[in-house]
Amino acid sequence: MRVAEIRAKRFSMRTIYYTKLSKENLEKELNAEYRELHQLLREADIVTVHVSMANETKHMNNEEKLGNMYEP
């Protein structure tokens, strides 16, 4: 979330995020809003992915999911 913090403060960007569990402390600190992954991909103009490579994250993003991303 450090990247989001810098962008939010410097560029007055709204920050939305996805993780397995929402993190209320980050929401208050960064004025961030939790979204389910499919919602985040539909709403976000910029997406950064920060996950460790593991079996459960290996296919987290694929062509179908990224095809649902917001288009201005």
Per-10-residue mean pLDDT for the chain, 72 residues long?
A: 63 81 77 88 84 81 78 68
What confidence score (pLDDT) does residue 32 get? 84
State which amino acid sits at residue 68. N
User: What per-residue string of b and e applies to 42-69 under the rule 16 or more CB within 10 Å gives b?
Assistant: eebeeeeeeeeeeeeeeeeeeeeeeeee
Tell me how far apart the alpha carbons of residues 8 and 66 are, in angstroms, rounded to a whole number: 23
For residue 54, give the amino acid letter: A
pLDDT of residue 50: 79
The pLDDT value recorded for residue 58 is 80
